[in-house]
Amino acid sequence: MTVEKFDPQQTTTLRVAKEEISKHHNADAPVLTGTEAKIGFVSLGCPKNLVDSERILTQLRTEGYDVVSTYHDSDLVIVNTCGFIDSAVQESLDTIGEALKENGKVIVTGCLGVKEDEIREVHPNVLAITGPHAYETVVEQVHDHLPKPQHNPFQQLIPDHGVKLTPRHYAYLKISEGCNHRCTFCIIPSMRGDLDSRPIGDVLDEAKRLKDAGVQELLVISQDTSAYGVDVKHQTGFWDGMPVKTNMVALCEKLGEMGIWVRLHYVYPYPSVDKVIPLMAEGKILPYLDIPLQHASPRILKLMKRPAAAERTLERIKAWREICPELIIRSTFIVGFPGETEEDFQTLLDFLEEAQLDRVGCFKYSDVEGATANDLPDPVSEEEKQSRFERFMEVQARISAQKLQDKIGLEYQVLIDEVTTEGAVGRCYADAPEIDGKVYLTDEFDVAPGDKIWAQIVHADEHDMWAVKVDDEDDEGEDNAEATM
Ligand code: SF4
């Protein structure tokens, strides 16, 4: 998990929950009304929280509850909160307050739920509170305040893959809960507990159901994807009648056989990651790694207690690129961590120049209530943090812009996300949804969300690219397919 993963724009509002459910169900489903049990749902925070929301909504829909899009229409509102950084806590508290004011019956769940006292101090009237991934308890709390509908009009309408809150063509695949690390700036382990890997058979079953439902891209998420299976000693599970080890490499091999895009998020540069790079070079999974490095100075990494702090990251990245030259690396960094000297910061800038990462997010350090880093000496002044942030962004903006310029003239497969009045908008393998750039196909209307087409890049700025569609049969494109997915 990285600080970047809290983005208020990713908030799934009441309206979004209803709309996404309607999209997934509308295709063949008759419009049904009449149930007396209507739920409003607001999901805040990161994709992991969104997956929790999907599970709760799936269960409620299975039991016959309707999901509605306004506070006024709801009999009860569930707020799935985020508590990662202070602004996330505030947004969660504000949202609970809004739901109480507009509706009055509110159940709270999610990361902030572990701080029940803090919530009750501000909002004493919430009906019930739970922490993250407490799906069954939330559903029981709903039963207590809004009895299950007798007649279930939705029984036939729940798709095999359950309720999804992302567009039809991509989905988050959560492989584990919790985290065994104790990064000093992070309170996730205190909210979500230690690593708890899902059985590999369950993960692969879910992936297959999503693929069968039309999903074109799976985004593998967890707090530390490279640690998958450590808690169960990488025990052998079963899928499709065959033994499969509970580890990241085996998971990637199996997902790679499904014939859809597979993108890895929150991976740490451990030696075990070396084994997934050949799968990327062979085109089995996308050559894309989201590695939240957070810093490059060994001293600061130690103060942060970062996983893989002792790894030789630059050497590792170079070796990966030799095996898979098209590998895209996204990362996030924190500047102004307590004790960060000008020398540490320069080490970070030097690292950026040398590592030539493709996509980078940067955050100014701020205290998070309950984090041990709050007690570290030598805080960096706000003025200095801002100055370092600007210097960091200047260096990385130049690198990112050059990386995208280098793609002009090349052909890539583009997954279409939407078609607007100006044309189609999609992404190539280098871009994860929500966090990376987009590929704009101006005046291209003959496509639909979920289509994969070949396109040639004709223009780029430091974040996005513009492209024109090319013929699928084009030989050059076919050759490029090997290298660029
Ligand atoms: S403790 Fe570290 S690795 Fe674990 S979730 Fe927090 S930032 Fe991520």
CA–CA separation, 324 vs 103, rounded Å?
Answer: 53
Is residue 286 over pLDDT 50?
yes
Cα distances (angstroms) measured from residue 460 to each of 291, 355, 359, 435: 24, 21, 14, 17
Per-residue confidence at 316, pLDDT binned at 50, 70, 90?
very high
Residue 358's Cβ-count burial label (10 Å; 0-12, 13-18, 19+) is: buried
Angle between helices 342-355 and 313-323 (to 10 degrees): 10
In the prediction, which pLDDT does 35 show? 56
Q: Is 33 helix (H, G, I), strand (E, B) or coil?
A: coil
The answer to whether 82 is annotated as binding is yes
Q: Percent of the chain scored above 90 by pLDDT?
A: 68
DSSP secondary structure string for all residues of 163-227: ---S-TTEEEEE-EE--S---TT--HHHHH-S-EEPPHHHHHHHHHHHHHTT--EEEEE-S-GGG
Q: Rounded mean pLDDT of 92-111?
A: 94
The answer to whether 111 is annotated as binding is yes
CA–CA separation, 107 vs 338, rounded Å?
Answer: 37
Most ligand 1 atoms within 8 A of CB, residue of 181, 221, 363 to mutate: 181
Most ligand 1 atoms within 8 A of CB, residue of 111, 176, 179, 291 to mutate: 179
Decide which of 23 and 82 is more confident: 82
Is residue 159 over pLDDT 80?
no
Lookup: tokens for 314: 């630059």
Cα distances (angstroms) measured from residue 445 to each of 201, 440, 474: 40, 12, 21
Residue 178 Cβ inside 6 Å of ligand 1? The answer reads no
Residue 371 Cβ inside 6 Å of ligand 1? The answer reads no
Residue 299's Cβ-count burial label (10 Å; 0-12, 13-18, 19+) is: middle
Other residues' Cβ atoms within 10 Å of the Cβ of residue 306: 21
Most ligand 1 atoms within 8 A of CB, residue of 224, 225, 337 to mutate: 224
In the prediction, which pLDDT does 310 show? 66
Residue 186 Cβ inside 6 Å of ligand 1? The answer reads yes
Other residues' Cβ atoms within 10 Å of the Cβ of residue 324: 20
In the prediction, which pLDDT does 218 show? 96
Query: Nearest 10 degrees: CA dihedral of 319, 324, 326, 330?
Result: -50
- Centre of ligand 1 to C-alpha 290, Å, is 14
Tell me what the pLDDT averaged over the chain comes to.
Answer: 87
CB neighbours of 460 closer than 8 A, spacing ≥ 6?
Answer: 401, 404, 405, 407, 408, 466
Decide which of 24 and 170 is more confident: 170
Other residues' Cβ atoms within 10 Å of the Cβ of residue 290: 24
The answer to whether 179 is annotated as binding is yes
Which residue lies with its CA nearest to atom 6 of ligand 1?
186
CB neighbours of 411 closer than 8 A, spacing ≥ 6?
Answer: 454, 455, 456, 457, 470, 474, 476, 477, 480, 484
pLDDT tens per residue, range 364-392:
999 888 899 999 999 999 999 999 999 99
Phi, psi of 356, rounded to the nearest 5 degrees: 50, 55
The answer to whether 324 is annotated as binding is no
What is the position in ligand 1's atom list of the atom closest to the CA of 2? 7
Largest CA distance in the chain: 67
Taking Cα atoms as reference points, which of 440, 438, 356, 362 lies closest to residue 403? 356
Decide which of 405 and 30 is more confident: 405
Extended strands (E) in 421-485 = 423-427, 439-442, 452-460, 465-469
* Amino acid, res. 283: G
Is residue 50 over pLDDT 80?
yes
